[in-house]
Amino acid sequence: MTWENYFMPSTTGEVLALLEQHQGQARLVAGGTDLMVQHRWDPLEVKSLIDIGRVPALKEIREDHGRIYVGAAVTHSQLVDSALIQGKGRVLAEAARSVGSPQVRNVGTVGGNVVNAQPAADTAIALVALDALVHVSSPGKEREIPVAEIFLGPGKSSIDPAKDLVTAFSFSAPDSRERTYFVRFARREALALPLVNLGLWLQLEEDGHALKDIRIAVGPMAVVPYRARKTEASLKGAVLNEEILKKAGHSISEEVTPRDSFRGSAAFKKRLIGVALKRGIERALDLKGVDRHER
């Protein structure tokens, strides 16, 4: 490998001190699953790595004043196994469960998944659907940014791993009228990149029928994780039935702009996203039984 120093601090304070001390010459690494592959032979832009996987505060999942906090170094496996996330962030648990393989989930972190900003990062899609906030610490300052705003392009986010420490993601705990769901279609059942992934958050009116509000996050349908706002708008206030769902499916297929690639044509992905939305809403509201294959 191509780095010369490897630090394993145990508090966020130490992390920030190291960042400050190295003045952009050290970068953070969490699971490192992408880094280890990309930089086996290719030089890294910095000489030092700061591994945040030993900072207990960054590995916490907790609920506080109606918000759920997920530490940046929380692994996908932790999300899958967390009763809190299963109960109050189903879309995130399911998204985490669909990542790679058990081995990758045991190591890869939600922070890494988001900061690396791949257009189809499963947990990033889920966090966008949850309208999560990113909590960022830099030497001497703290920020909170809506997660959807940090994505700049494929592989690019506004979080600089040589300057900024993402400490956590947070989202408001859902009330009894809110539901979430995650749908993913891939070439195979494991170890696969998604052809289409869709994170869903929806809120029902008090009568339990009409949709009061909905957020639909999708990938890889644009260069960054993307909210299908037109389709969201068309669904707000709707009373759900087969007809509406079919229309929503068409609407989102029209709205998204995926690219043709050898992994799948744009037309195919457009079609799948429509199916994903329809099935996602059905499953989220338990209109039909959950298909064991769809995760």
Partner 1 sequence: MPGKRNVLKKGKGEIMKFSNLGKETPILDGLEKVTGRARYVPDLKMEGMLYGKVLRSPYPHARLVNIDTTKAARVPGVKDIITGKDVSQHRFGPMVPDWVILPDDKVRFHGDEVAAVAASSEEAAAEAVALIEVEYEELPAVYDPELALEEGAPLLYEEKDNNIAATFNVHSGDVDEALAGSDIIFEETYKTNQVYQAYMEPMAAVAVPGDYERLIMWLSTQIPSMSRLRYAEALQMCAEDLRIIKPHVGGGFGAKFEYKSHILAAVLTRRTGLPVRMVNNREEDFRAGNPRVPMKIWVKLGLSRDGTFLAKDTRIIAGNGARTVYAPAITSTACYRIDSLYKFKNVRSTGYTVYTNTIPTSCFRGFGNAQMHFAMESALDTICHQYDMDPIKLRQHNGVTPGFTSIHGWEIKSCALEECLDKAAQESNWYEKKKAPKQKGPVKKGIGVAICNHVSGNRPFFKPFDGSSALVRLTPEGKAIVFTGEADIGQGMNTAFALIAAEAVGLNVKNVRTAAVDTDISPFGLGSFATRGSTIGGRAVYEAAVNLKKQLLEHISRVYEKETDQITINNGNIYFDDQEKPVPVAEAMQTISYTLGGTSLVGQGVFVPDTVLPDENKYGNVSPAYPFGCHIAEVEVDTETGRTRLLNYWAAHDVGRVINRQTLEGQVEGGVIMGAGWALGEDMVINDGVLLNPNFHDYCLPTAMDIPEGHIYSYFLESEDPNGPFGAKGIGEPSLNPVPAAIANAVFDAVGVRVKTLPITPEKILEGLESG
Partner 2 sequence: MSGNNNEQGGRLTINFRLNEKEYSLEIDPGERLLDLIRNRLGLIGAKEGCGMGECGACTVIMNGQAVNSCIIPAARADGAEILTVEGLSGGMENDLHPLQKIFLEKGAVQCGYCTPGMLLSAKAFLDKNRGREIRREQIKEGISGNLCRCTGYQKIIEAIYCYAREAERAEERKG
Q: Does 36 bind partner 1 (CB under 8 A)?
A: no
**Shortest spacing between CB 264 and partner 1, in angstroms:** 7
CA distances from 260 to 60, 194, 196, 198, 267 (A): 39, 14, 13, 18, 8
Contact between 290 and partner 2 per CB under 8 A:
no
What the block records as the tokens of 91 is 């879309």
Radius of gyration of the chain (CA): 19
Binding status of residue 243 toward partner 1 by CB under 8 A? no
Contact between 42 and partner 2 by CB under 8 A: the answer reads no
Residue 100 is a binding residue for partner 2 (CB under 8 A): yes
290 binds partner 1 (CB under 8 A): no
Contact between 247 and partner 1 by CB under 8 A: the answer reads: no
Instruction: Please choose, out of 30-38, 61-69, 115-123, 146-154, the segment that lies near partner 2 by the rule CB under 8 A.
Output: 30-38
Q: Is 293 in the site for partner 1 (CB under 8 A)?
A: yes
Among partner 1, partner 2, none, what does residue 264 contact (CB within 5–8 Å per kind)?
partner 1
294/277 Cα distance (integer angstroms): 12
Indicate whether 82 belongs to the interface with partner 2 (CB under 8 A).
no
> Please, which of residues 162-201 interact with partner 1 by CB under 8 A?
185, 187-193
Number of Cβ within 10 Å of residue 100's Cβ equals 17
Check residue 65 for interaction with partner 1 (CB under 8 A): no
Cα–Cα dist 244/286, whole Å: 16
Q: Choose among partner 1, partner 2, none what residue 53 binds, the Cβ cut-off being 5 to 8 Å by kind.
A: partner 2
**229 Cβ contact list (under 8 Å, min separation 6):** none
3-state secondary structure of 140: coil
Which helix (H) or strand (E) element contains residue 219?
strand 211-219
Q: Applying CB under 8 A, which of residues 2, 23, 261, 265 lies at the interface with partner 2?
A: 2
Bridge partners, 211 (sequence order): 204
Q: Is 188 helix (H, G, I), strand (E, B) or coil?
A: coil
Q: According to the binding rule CB under 8 A, does residue 14 interact with partner 2?
A: yes
Amino acid found at 291: D
Respond yes or no on whether the N-terminal peptide bond of residue 9 is cis (omega within 30° of 0). Answer: no
Contact positions toward partner 2, by CB under 8 A? 1-10, 14, 32-33, 36-37, 40, 47-49, 51, 53-54, 77, 100-104, 106-107, 189-191, 292
Contact positions toward partner 1, by CB under 8 A? 41, 101, 185, 187-193, 262-265, 268, 271-272, 275, 293
